[in-house]
Amino acid sequence: MKRIYNPAQLFAGSFIFLILLGAMILHLPVSNTQQLSWIDAFFTATSAVCVTGLIVVDTASAFTTFGKISIMILIQLGGLGILTFASYFAYFFKGGSSYQNQLASRDIANSDKLGEVFLLLKRIILITFAIEAVGAALLFFSTPPVGNGFVQHMFFCTFHSISSFCNAGFSTLESGLADETLVYNYPFQLIIIILFVLGGLGFPIVINLLRYIKHLSNRLINRYSKDQYPSKPWVININSKINLITTFSITLTATIILWLLEGQSAFSGHGTIGRWITALFTASTPRTAGYNSIDFANLQVHSILLVIFLMWVGASPNSTGGGIKTSTFAVAVLNILSLVRGKERLEIFRREIAEITIKRAFATMTLSLFVIGICILLISVFENEFTLIQIAFECFSAYSTVGLTLGITFKLSMASKAVLIVLMFIGRVTMLSIMIAVFRKVKFTGYRYAKEELTIN
């Protein structure tokens, strides 16, 4: 009997395969300039595929041009999800797809209409390449020449454009974006911010925004014509509204707080405008981008705690970013407000949020804290020289696929690296998806037991 794999198993399996393949490629002598251990090869491959950005060897000096190109490809495949490529190109070469494959792709692409699944996957790939190409061109004209000649400069810009949009945080510079040639290059930093914010919003939201822009353009063009362009309600759906509002609110609030807390300390080397841009960059990059224009070890403790919170929330769903997702955080907050107001249903924008969404949100939050807590405990056992906040920062960064560090990643033992490898994988695939892949679904749920209430507080 042919076994049918559910989408969660295919999704997790594709990442495992890509990590194993990437580790073998990066371990080859042609990929590195020095002898790279297997654990470091696996760590780098996992960090690239899971678009995390944590590194145990310096990307700029430890890898050859072939190795850096391999990392860039792993980032691209991991950012989009290997199944996005596999599903689309299988459909393209075979001239179609089975109903079963379309069902699996529908769950991965989060599309409501079965017929639009592969159209959505095609749009995802085209939009990704278009944004990355424009981003690379803008970075090319906003930076001084890097390396020897046009080709190396173009590679630098392409690498950082892909790494930014995929929220990976990898850089071909030893100091990353804190390099002295870039730390005061504010146009460059703004372009990077736009790239990783677009990648962190998620493809459904970006496509929804493009539709809204098209709708506004058509209304503007046909404003004075005899045949008025019809007004369409809910062009921006509720998913986009909630995630956009949450993303904007968290980023704006974090930017102001960091400017107030660090404006005279960590950001003191910048001018007035430079401090605001640095504060915006520092507030945006924990949303799983992983780039840093400052040394996060120089931040005050309360700023570090704020960054940990931002990393935990992460990006929006169906995006290149990680974390529990902005929609999960928004649903949790809205549900708490509904409870304290005595409402039995969660309602927002004249819509009722489905009960299954609330259950998934709290399951995601609970599982994330449980997994991160276990890993903090394990690493604290393996490492005696680091403080608890350093270890916690590292674990939240790994789980949320951020890539920020307080400077301890290079010093970790083999056991701690193994823990972070597992944590990065769980954070990218999500613990809920792994559990769905492992546990067999209940086939019959057409019954109901009598309801009982438990004492909670």
pTM exceeds 0.75: yes
> Taking phi first (over 0 means left), then psi (-120 to 50 degrees means alpha), and beta for anything else, what does residue 351 get?
beta
Distances (CA, A) of 91 to 83, 126, 179, 384, 391: 12, 16, 44, 52, 44
Q: State the pLDDT at residue 237.
A: 84
Q: State the pLDDT at residue 177.
A: 84
Q: State the pLDDT at residue 1.
A: 45
Closest of 168, 191, 318, 337 to residue 243, by C-alpha: 318
Contact status, residue 407 vs residue 380, Cβ threshold 8 Å = no
Tell me the sheet residues that pair with 13: none
Residue 63 to residue 175: CA distance in whole angstroms: 15
Indicate the residue type of 68. Answer: K
Contact status, residue 146 vs residue 152, Cβ threshold 8 Å = yes
Mean pLDDT by groups of 10 residues along the chain of 457 residues: 62 87 92 88 92 88 91 90 61 53 53 61 83 93 82 91 90 83 88 90 83 78 61 75 92 93 82 89 86 86 93 87 90 90 84 86 92 95 91 93 89 92 90 78 72 76
| Residues written for the chain | 457
Q: What is the DSSP letter of 63?
A: B
Contact status, residue 166 vs residue 51, Cβ threshold 8 Å = yes
Residue 175 to residue 19: CA distance in whole angstroms: 26
Q: 3-class DSSP state for residue 32?
A: strand
Q: How far apart are the first and last CA of the chain?
A: 50
Do β-strands 351-352 and 347-348 pair in parallel, antiparallel, or remain unpaired?
antiparallel
Q: Where are any strands of DSSP class E within 281-387?
A: 347-348, 351-352
* Helices and strands, counts by H and E, the chain: 18, 2
Q: State the pLDDT at residue 216.
A: 78
Tokens of 14: 């594709």
Q: State the pLDDT at residue 115.
A: 57
